[in-house]
A and B are shown apart, each in its own frame.
Chain A
């Protein structure tokens, strides 16, 4: 019997009991739908994370004060005091792979304008920071090297801070209070969205590093240094050069841990990608459990069906059906059920993940691989869970079966 006949015969048998077939398929539909939806959403999240990281720049190296514990927990910003401004100057002078560097320190602060206030983070840095981050202004300009030299009270606002204090009005020229100090707003940054780690990059204020150190935190050391390498490939060399340089400057002996961390953004990107990949896999695995439940449903109904049709099977065997013929007949019913359920599940899952992506503003990502895997899995579920009932049918004794009421 050719493929089309088998399909037609199986469909006819399933159509005899439409309600029952549909209910059985529901298990597969939900199972496949759940897997497709979770994989779609997971991959969308992965893509979004990659996009966020890419928006931070591609040849960045991030130096932060504080060593890495076993658990990867970084000590707080104020805990390590060994990273200093002269470290940054040395990095610029002595690392050939480094193109530019900017200092960084920050503190939480309350910012007030008129009746609006907002609790955010004040970051101290130098003007080259915005070039390194490829972060243009939508209004005004960054503060200048002169401002740094004179510890001027000037500030650049992130978009989120601007919205919370000024709505959509242009704040350039206005004065805000940071802590209790008045600062003149000189620029507004374009919106960048979430960082790879999920933080809102636009919820920040930037002031000259000297102003922060002298007038807000009172701490002369740096929390971090943002470095850009001469190229993306050079970022690894830059990483090595900086590490060696700082170990030397901080007099760290061989075998001792660094009292700083140098992170390559490419590594961060890879880590984030890996962890979201694992997350997706985990979610998909859990969703697959429902596929197994769907398969059990198929086995259950097929067993009932075989019992109901015992007489019919007896007739078929009596008039010459081989074991293989009966096996094929019932197995094909199970597989057709799971394939149709799988197809509907794919549509259902794709629709759900599209909907979720739209709501979360994530990029849409339905991989053909996942769809293919779903089809293959549905077929396998049908074969695996349909085999036992089909074999029972094929091995019936025709004499007994014909006597069955």
Chain B
């Protein structure tokens, strides 16, 4: 789309960071028997690398549908989704799976760890599907667990870990294949207030190191830890603004009472 008429603009856009996510006029319809639900009604946005985006909205606003699209778990009915420049909407199931494995990390509200499997093995799972050799798999898994502060609990089962620790394992799993983006769907929904802030600290630390983080939440307090807030309503983006007075989770933790108090 570059033209020869405005060369200055070309240089400028060439210097600006390419968006890691670019969504163009995306629509999503669901077929529910007789009715057709228009879940996304023309959503467009760009997310640059290193951003920390919080997506908010009531249920039915389309935010979950949008996250599923971002996560390549579903494809838009129309429109384009460019992930690192590649039009994902056109890709086959095989390729989408590969993208989910290598470019994206997922964190869910319910942790979604495999029971009766150790923390280390849980974190190792994405590397198995990436067909990496055994030594490298273990290396990466151990490093990811250390990054979230669980180096001492690698052989524990999820049932032996607290909610916060389980979510850390889930985050480590999301990081193990060194993705470009971490997608989190209500990551603090099942956690108490202090643990929620601990988790937000991890996200902020990872974001500081350059990881792009997109999370969905319905709690404004949690969204406040992000750098940019996007609000969905009725399948469209209603507000898209930077966060003002963004708190540092580490500092907030110092002011919070511990559970023993």
Best-surrounded residue of A1, A315, A316 (most CB of chain B within 10 A): A315
Q: How far is the CA of A33 from the CA of B122 in the complex (A)?
A: 39
Q: Is B190 an interface residue (CB 8 A)?
A: no
A317→B114 contact, CB < 8 A: no
Interface of A is mostly: helix
* Residues from chain A with Cβ under 8 Å of B108 in the complex: 402
* Residues from chain A with Cβ under 8 Å of B74 in the complex: 399
Q: Is A104 an interface residue (CB 8 A)?
A: no
| Proximity string of chain A (243-260) to chain B, C-beta cutoff 8 Å, 1 when within and 0 when not | 000000000000000000
Q: Is A147 an interface residue (CB 8 A)?
A: no
Q: Is B254 an interface residue (CB 8 A)?
A: no
B73→A16 contact, CB < 8 A: no
B114 CB contact (under 8 Å) in A315, A321, A323: A315
A322→B114 contact, CB < 8 A: no
Indicate the size class of the contact surface on chain A: 10 to 19
CB within 8 Å for A322 and B94 given contacts A312-B114, A402-B112: yes
Q: Is A297 an interface residue (CB 8 A)?
A: no
Q: How far is the CA of A315 from the CA of B174 in the complex (A)?
A: 12
* Residues from chain A with Cβ under 8 Å of B130 in the complex: 320
* Residues from chain A with Cβ under 8 Å of B106 in the complex: 318-319
CB within 8 Å for A319 and B71 given contacts A312-B114, A402-B108, A402-B112: no
B129→A319 contact, CB < 8 A: yes
Name the distance in Å between B29's Cβ and chain A's nearest Cβ: 15
CB within 8 Å for A315 and B100 given contacts A322-B94, A323-B94, A325-B129: no
Q: How far is the CA of A315 from the CA of B116 in the complex (A)?
A: 15
* Residues from chain A with Cβ under 8 Å of B212 in the complex: none
Name the distance in Å between A77's Cβ and chain B's nearest Cβ: 77
Q: How far is the CA of A347 from the CA of B24 in the complex (A)?
A: 65
A320→B112 contact, CB < 8 A: no
Q: Is A311 an interface residue (CB 8 A)?
A: yes
Q: Is A398 an interface residue (CB 8 A)?
A: yes
Name the distance in Å between B77's Cβ and chain A's nearest Cβ: 15
B97→A322 contact, CB < 8 A: yes
Instruction: Write the chain A residue with the least CB distance to B94.
Output: A322
* Residues from chain A with Cβ under 8 Å of B98 in the complex: 320, 322
A399→B114 contact, CB < 8 A: no
From 299 to 332 in chain A, residues with beta carbon under 8 angstroms from any chain B beta carbon are 311-312, 314-323, 325
A323→B129 contact, CB < 8 A: no
* Residues from chain B with Cβ under 8 Å of A322 in the complex: 94, 97-98, 129
Best-surrounded residue of A311, A314, A315, A320 (most CB of chain B within 10 A): A320
Q: How far is the CA of A318 from the CA of B93 in the complex (A)?
A: 12
CB within 8 Å for A1 and B131 given contacts A315-B114, A319-B125, A402-B112: yes
B131→A399 contact, CB < 8 A: no
B68→A320 contact, CB < 8 A: no
Name the distance in Å between A154's Cβ and chain B's nearest Cβ: 86
Q: Is B236 an interface residue (CB 8 A)?
A: no
Q: How far is the CA of A80 from the CA of B71 in the complex (A)?
A: 94
* Residues from chain A with Cβ under 8 Å of B128 in the complex: 1
From 106 to 155 in chain A, residues with beta carbon under 8 angstroms from any chain B beta carbon are none
Q: Is B102 an interface residue (CB 8 A)?
A: yes
Instruction: Write the chain B residue with the least CB distance to A16.
Output: B116
Q: How far is the CA of A322 from the CA of B106 in the complex (A)?
A: 16
Q: How far is the CA of A316 from the CA of B122 in the complex (A)?
A: 10
Q: Is B158 an interface residue (CB 8 A)?
A: no
| Proximity string of chain B (74-100) to chain A, C-beta cutoff 8 Å, 1 when within and 0 when not | 100000000000000000011001101
B73→A316 contact, CB < 8 A: no
B129→A320 contact, CB < 8 A: yes
Q: Is B126 an interface residue (CB 8 A)?
A: yes
B73 CB contact (under 8 Å) in A321, A323, A325, A398: A398
CB within 8 Å for A323 and B101 given contacts A316-B125, A318-B71, A318-B106: no
Instruction: Write the chain A residue with the least CB distance to B68.
Output: A399
B129 CB contact (under 8 Å) in A16, A312, A321, A399: A321
B73→A318 contact, CB < 8 A: yes
A320→B97 contact, CB < 8 A: yes
B112→A311 contact, CB < 8 A: yes
From 364 to 405 in chain A, residues with beta carbon under 8 angstroms from any chain B beta carbon are 398-399, 402
Q: How far is the CA of A48 from the CA of B63 in the complex (A)?
A: 79
B126→A320 contact, CB < 8 A: yes
A319→B73 contact, CB < 8 A: no
Q: How far is the CA of A314 from the CA of B114 in the complex (A)?
A: 11
Instruction: Write the chain A residue with the least CB distance to B112.
Output: A315
Name the distance in Å between B180's Cβ and chain A's nearest Cβ: 14
From 122 to 179 in chain B, residues with beta carbon under 8 angstroms from any chain A beta carbon are 125-126, 128-131, 173, 177
CB within 8 Å for A321 and B97 given contacts A316-B125, A398-B73: yes
Q: How far is the CA of A398 from the CA of B108 in the complex (A)?
A: 13
A319 CB contact (under 8 Å) in B94, B101, B131: B101
Best-surrounded residue of A317, A318, A399 (most CB of chain B within 10 A): A318
Best-surrounded residue of A311, A319, A323 (most CB of chain B within 10 A): A319
Name the distance in Å between B96's Cβ and chain A's nearest Cβ: 9
Name the distance in Å between A17's Cβ and chain B's nearest Cβ: 11
Name the distance in Å between B154's Cβ and chain A's nearest Cβ: 18
25 contacts between A and B (CB under 8 A): A1-B131, A16-B116, A311-B112, A315-B114, A316-B129, A318-B71, A318-B73, A318-B112, A319-B100, A319-B101, A319-B106, A319-B126, A320-B97, A320-B102, A320-B129, A321-B129, A322-B97, A322-B98, A322-B129, A323-B93, A323-B94, A323-B97, A325-B129, A399-B68, A399-B74
**Interface of A toward B, CB cutoff 8 Å:** 1, 16, 311-312, 314-323, 325, 398-399, 402
Query: A312-B114, A320-B97, A399-B73 are known contacts; what are 10 more A-B pairs with Cβ within 8 Å?
Result: A16-B116, A315-B112, A319-B125, A319-B129, A320-B102, A320-B126, A322-B98, A323-B94, A398-B73, A399-B74
**Interface of B toward A, CB cutoff 8 Å:** 68, 71, 73-74, 93-94, 97-98, 100-102, 106, 108, 112, 114, 116, 125-126, 128-131, 173, 177
